[in-house]
Amino acid sequence: MSKANLRRLRDATEKLSKWSRNGKVFGYFGELDALKGKNQGDRIYEFFCFLRVAKDLKQNYHLRLSNTVNAKKVFPMSPAYKPDYCYYSVIDKASQNEVYQLCYGTKVALTYAPKTTHALDISIQKANASLTPNECDVVMIMDAKFSAKPNSKISKQNISYFGQWVNDLGVQSAATSRVRFTDLASMKGNCLISNALVQDDHDDYCRHLCVKQVGEFDCGNDSFTVIG
């Protein structure tokens, strides 16, 4: 992806992340220079994917920005503990009850190895998920992988790595959950998302791991490829 494409991705992300009242960009993004720093492209892409998921969920639910005790109205720029940042409460439109939480960059611990955490780019957690979540709180996970190389493909290494997270967190049944998507309906499940191409040869492997490869997922592109 060129710098021009990265600018377009930044602009698209800014449009998705503006407060309705004052039009300003919320979270860390308003302060982020998209074209400087080693990891900025990755961070912009991860946040873009998160907002695309939020935008799609908003077609079926109300989303409310929830503040935790220590948090300001910001999302983390790197993996962080849940109490220090905000997340979205996902509200059923009919009952007005919170049914899920949509979290960004949240560390999730393992009950059987409490010193071990997985930093999830995007996670859908249960409505009653703790501020110190573990695998029992998680419904679905997604990981974003940005590629600056044209025509590159999602690597088998990334598929295997993400598949281990799915196993560790016990979310193999994510695709059969009651979470409702609309335009992203094919992404219902544990998704490894990238602007790169999918690896067709590993479709069966992905199905075994309960992982979906999502390729060509980019700004200005409503079509994308999902296998697994």
| Beta carbons of 177 and 28 less than 8 angstroms apart | no
- Report the C-alpha gap between 19 and 228 in whole angstroms: 36
Cα 104 to Cα 108, 157, 221, distances in angstroms: 11, 23, 23
pLDDT tens digits, 4-53 = 666 666 676 666 665 544 555 555 444 444 445 545 678 888 999 999 99
The model's confidence at residue 123, banded by pLDDT at 50, 70 and 90, is very high
- Cα torsion 15, 149, 209, 79 to 10°: value is -50
Give the DSSP letter string of 144-163: EE---STT-B--HHHHHHHH
Q: Which H or E run includes 91?
A: strand 87-92
DSSP 86: -
DSSP 61: E
Mean pLDDT value across the chain: 87
Q: Tokens for 120? A: 């999830």
- Report the C-alpha gap between 147 and 134 in whole angstroms: 30
Q: Tokens for 61? A: 């639910």
Q: 3-state DSSP call for residue 106?
A: strand
Q: What pLDDT sits at residue 130?
A: 94
Q: 3-state DSSP call for residue 171?
A: coil
Q: Is the pLDDT of residue 122 over 90?
A: yes
